[in-house]
Amino acid sequence: MKRRTFLKNLSASGTLAGLGGLSLESCVNPYRKHITILHTNDVHSHIDAFPKDHSQFPGLGGLARRATLVEQIRSENPNTLLFDAGDIFQGTPYFNFYGGELEFKLMSKLKYDAATIGNHDFDNGIDGLHAQLPHANFELLSANYDFTNTVLDGFVKPYRTYLLDGIKIGVYGLGIQLKGLVTQELYKETQYLDPYDVAYDCERILKKQEQCDMIICLSHLGYQYQQEDRPNDLELASKTKYTNLFIGGHTHTFLDKPTVVKNNADDHVLVNQVGCFGVHLGRIDFYFDALKNSTSKGTHITV
């Protein structure tokens, strides 16, 4: 089934109440189900920790430390999902030498659940990205890249659903316009679809057809731009209706805490991004009551 047809058939803390429109104080039922969302973005092949004398990130980061944190959090709450918002590749000699194989293998060992595709993930061409897929034991999600007539056709899904402790979670991916960022010989016949239109389709499907209790967007559009005509996460959050959490990438934005945005349904939703190079791990905890109303808390953990 072709992508367009398929779409037509979704280190501070802050709190947000009301996926179901109710605040914490107004709920009679106690919050009894706990879902943890962990996330990274723009890791750019940074597998090792930075040197202790690094001017910007002394001794920070490193996949081994991230793995330890993820394992600890999962032991505390088995109902945990781990996502990445793109630009997995390019930035250290590991990518130059292994072409993405090591990054995908290590992410698989950490048991990432899904990732979206960033512009730098095409740096070895669409054929190079395809060649590394056997090493990825997680989903690649991208709803607005139409891979028809490319080697990735059928290998990338627009969205995925997860069921944790009776809570159904829908996740969809969005990518940035490749023209101007990536030479066409690398992405070939990949077609870029308007991310806002695609987001409306995805969240509607996930909410109405899939009956999801919570919807997450993995976005590599960028947090915000001075140019008003460039799609970005803050505008996307304000235009959509059913998406509750936007996990962003591309702009390497270090947020002190998740940004709260009022969406098109006049509900508050979260937009989050944890900078770059794996020096922070994003964590959002959602707590659901018996009626599946929720409250949330967001934390950035320094790795």
Residue whose C-alpha is closest to residue 215's, from 195, 234, 200, 230: 200
Q: Is residue 27 part of a domain?
A: no
- Domain annotation covers residue 24: no
Helix, strand, coil proportions of the chain in percent (round to 5)? 25, 30, 45
Residue 46 domain-assigned?
Answer: yes
Q: What is the mean pLDDT of the chain?
A: 89
pLDDT at 290 over 80: no
Question: For residue 300, is it within any domain?
Answer: no
Cα dist from 142 to 157, 193, 240, 297, whole Å: 6, 10, 17, 27
Phi, psi of 199 (to 5 degrees): -60, -40
Strands 245-247 vs 159-164: parallel, antiparallel or unpaired: unpaired
Tokens of 144: 């607005």
- Each residue of 63-117: pLDDT tens digit? 999 999 999 999 999 999 999 999 999 999 999 999 999 999 999 999 999 999 9
| One-letter amino acid of 221 | L
Assigned domain for 70 exists: yes
Which spans in the chain are helix H?
3-8, 63-76, 93-98, 101-109, 125-132, 184-187, 195-204, 233-239
Helix (H) or strand (E) holding 217: strand 214-220
Q: What is the pLDDT of residue 228?
A: 74
Confirm if 291 and 300 have CB atoms less than 8 A apart.
no
Across the range 151-167, mean pLDDT stands at 97
Burial 249-287 (b: 16+ CB within 10 A, else e): bbbbbebebbbebebeeebbbbbbbbbbbbbbbbbbbbb
Among 231, 151, 143, which Cα is nearest to 189's? 151
What would the mean pLDDT of 178-182 be, rounded to a whole number?
A: 95
Percent of the chain with pLDDT over 90: 83
CA distance 8 to 246: 22
How many percent of the chain have pLDDT more than 70? Answer: 87
| Residue 7 scores a pLDDT above 80 | no
Question: What is the domain-level CATH number for residue 141?
Answer: 3.60.21.10
Residue 133 lies in a domain: yes
Cβ atoms of residues 205 and 197 within 8 Å:
no
Residues with Cβ within 8 Å of residue 209, at least 6 apart in sequence? none
| pLDDT of amino acid 265 | 94
Cβ–Cβ under 8 Å, residues 226 and 267: no
Answer whether residue 290 is part of any domain: no
d(CA 143, CA 257): 27
Residue 232 forms part of a structural domain: yes
Burial (CB < 10 A; 0-12, 13-18, 19+), residue 81, is buried
Q: Which amino acid is at 215?
A: I
**Tally of domains in the chain:** 1
pLDDT at position 172 over 60: yes
Q: Within 13 A of 135's CA, how many CA atoms are on the CB side?
A: 15
**Residue span of the structural domain in which 47 resides:** 32-277
Tell me: pLDDT of 19 over 80: no
